[in-house]
Amino acid sequence: MKKILLTFFCASILFSCNTDTHEYEKNLDHYKRLIKDINIYFIDSTQDTLAISDYYTENFIFYSYPVGHKKGIETNKSDYIRNLKQMKQMNMSINIGHSIYLPGIDKDSYKLDGSVRVYYGATLSIDTSNVEFSGYQTVDFIDGKILAIWEWADYGGVSNQLNKLMK
């Protein structure tokens, strides 16, 4: 009887871990496809359409933390996508390159929750001026779509470097 209970207990733990890992892997693939589409949009000068809306939930929020905003700034889905389009119209581009992905955890239970943590390196360009920077994101999902992104990066430093290069 003890062997049966132990086997059942171990199997249920393995099954729950596998489910959590599967959710993370599915969400990670979703996120990687998004980044690929954003990179292609900026690299391909003939591409005028940024068709990324379906990656996000309707109530998606992007949280950023620039200097002077310790509680952060919230940007809704339409403004977030519009900002990316405006960057391209201003002859700016971003290329998200090197990335390290890790599974995220629920803040209360500390169990895997399907979210994705990302350490990344990117290059922001205006004309021929380039600034490399690093950032960190946590990405939450619901029903296979991105619900929210929290991002920490040195926006002020990037802006200062671009201003120096443009002089």
The answer to whether 99 and 118 have CB atoms below 8 angstroms apart is: yes
Supply the pLDDT for residue 2.
53
Span 13-66, pLDDT tens digits: 444 445 568 999 999 999 999 999 999 999 999 999 999 999 999 999 999 999
Question: Which whole number is the average pLDDT over 112-139?
Answer: 96
Q: What's the CATH fold of domain 2-166?
A: Nuclear Transport Factor 2; Chain: A, (3.10.450)
Predicted confidence band at 3 (pLDDT cuts at 50, 70, 90)?
low
Pairing type for strands 112-126 and 129-142 reads antiparallel
pTM: 0.85
Question: Of 81, 80, 87, 65, which Cα lies nearest the Cα of 150?
Answer: 65
For the segment 68-86, the average pLDDT, to the nearest whole number, is 96
Q: What is the pLDDT of residue 16?
A: 47
DSSP annotation of 8 reads H
User: Angle at the Cα of 150 (from 162 to 105), degrees rounded to 5?
Assistant: 140
Q: How confident is the model at residue 149 (pLDDT cuts 50, 70, 90)?
A: very high
pLDDT tens-digit series, residues 81-92: 999 999 999 999
Q: So where are the chain's domains? A: 2-166
